[in-house]
Chain A
Amino acid sequence: MIHDILLIGMTVGCALVIYLSFKAQGKSGPAKYDERQALARGKAYRLGFYVLSVYMLANALYYLMTESQWADPVVNAFLGFYLGTMAFVVSCIRNDAYFALNQHPRSSTLLFAVLAAMNLLSGLMNLWDGESIFTDGMLNYLALNFMMALMFVVLLIALAVKRAMSRQNREADE
């Protein structure tokens, strides 16, 4: 029953992301990045790949050394995805390469905030229902909501810091 709900939630989440991606594309066409942004995004993809690789190696080493797992396979897989994605997005934000020329930061920022809040609320509701994020000493899939909320909070902080720095440098640059 719980797995069915999880599958439904994941399916709805993926469908929503795909729908929003196509909807955003329809309004202003495909994302347009200039050459500097494309270069920065390429470097960010590489960083994301390295972060994911290091995480997977660290995971494997932990298992080899302790012969135990610290989290169930679903959490293990998704955490690697979250870390790689965070590395990519933060690097892009830092190099002004996350938002395309024809994109508005406001809608993405709002989406991040909504997704952070939804995931945090979902996680808290599970805890309120008496569920635990640990099973036999291992993190279980119920921890994913908190991890996802944390990821979006980190991205929001990165956006806020970048925005503050850009404002500070604006007059100096001109």
Chain B
Amino acid sequence: MKNLRLKSARAALDMSQQALADQVGVSRQTIIAIEKGDYNPSIRLCMDICRALGKTLNDIFWEE
């Protein structure tokens, strides 16, 4: 399932996929795969992404 909340949280900060990837320490393709729903990140990676975007796990990754 696509992660549109991640995409919109990133867009709200005007952050590119590459910038988020660099900040989190993964490849740009990994961020793409997460946003497309092709890859389920580990909890650690989820937390790193939330920290980079200033959001909580509920905001971005937990199902509503």
Tell me the bound Cα distance from A96 to B27 in angstroms. Answer: 9
Residues B33 and A36 in contact, CB atoms below 8 Å apart: yes
- List residues 8-46 of chain A with CB under 8 A from any CB of chain B: 34-37
Q: How distant is the Cα of A158 from the Cα of B63 in the complex, in angstroms? A: 37
Interface flags for B10-45 (1: CB within 8 Å of A; 0: not) read 000000110000000111011011010001011001
State the CA gap A42–B27 with chains docked (Å).
Answer: 17
CA–CA, A103 and B30, complex, Å:
16
Q: Give the B interface residue count (CB, 8 A).
A: 14
CB distance from B55 to the nearest CB of A (A): 20
A101 contacts the other chain (CB 8 A): yes
The reply to whether B30 and A37 form a contact with Cβ atoms under 8 Å apart is yes
Instruction: Enumerate chain A residues within 8 angstroms of B30, measured Cβ to Cβ.
Output: 34-37
Q: Is the CB of B27 within 8 A of A34?
A: yes
Cβ of A4 < 8 Å from any Cβ of B?
no
> Which chain A residues have a beta carbon within 8 Å of chain B's beta carbons?
34-37, 96, 101, 173-174
Closest 9 CB pairs of A and B: A96-B29, A34-B26, A36-B30, A173-B32, A36-B39, A34-B30, A34-B27, A35-B42, A101-B27
Q: A35-B30, A36-B30, A174-B17 are in contact. List 8 more A-B contacts (CB 8 A).
A: A34-B45, A35-B41, A35-B45, A36-B27, A36-B39, A37-B30, A173-B35, A174-B16
